[in-house]
Amino acid sequence: MSESSLRAIVLRRTDSGESDRRLTLLTFELGKIDAIAKGARKGNSRLGAVSEPLSVAVMSLAPGRHARFVTQAQQSRSFRKMRTSFDRLSFALALTELYAAVLPYEEPVPEVFELLERSLQELEAHEQPLVAFIWCQCKLLEVSGFWPSFDTCVTDGSSVVVAEPWLSPEAGGFLSEESANEYTDRFRTRAEVLYGLARIVDLDVPPANLKFAVPTTLALLPFWKHFVDYRLPSYEYACQICRDSS
């Protein structure tokens, strides 16, 4: 396998060895992959800034015996404006953590790469970053095949008719009063939350406003925990920001 040039977004980084960084990348050409940026933690490294999460770059990757190595990188976007806003940055890091968690390795879907790039642009520019964050999550749930049923009961097909309906990640979404007792992970939310979720996923861009944005975010948290079998610290922290703001 020869050296290749890839369009990449850094989803996650961890320290490796004395000065390296192990990166999880979403690439246009190969999908999600791991790579090592050797010496990226050194003060004079050309790979330092470009190996930070949220960086968008063209990277040259060389194959090793057990890993790929970043040999060169030309940053095309770093979302500098987003890095000056605590909430925007927190939501963006939570989003890339979700992409890293739910996407399979080496299954290239160019539309998913383009969706993440567009989602980060929306998080940087939207007047209400929490609304953009919810839209970004819904689009990821849809393209990854995890989208729950929020408008009809997953067991009997009935519609939402009560003010505080049940949700169950195990069941796959909304549950009617009659079927809810079968699921121990059920929890109640507002009917407006379900109406909003069912509508927002069909939009090509985030809406300008969304009523009950905080309870909507908190309603999505149990679903992500169900889909991913390990902790999501950045996402949980973003949810704590929402709780504190309510």
What pTM did the predictor assign?
0.94
Q: For 137-154, what is the mean pLDDT?
A: 97
d(CA 144, CA 206): 18
174-228 pLDDT tens trace: 999 999 999 999 999 999 999 999 999 999 999 999 999 999 999 999 999 999 9
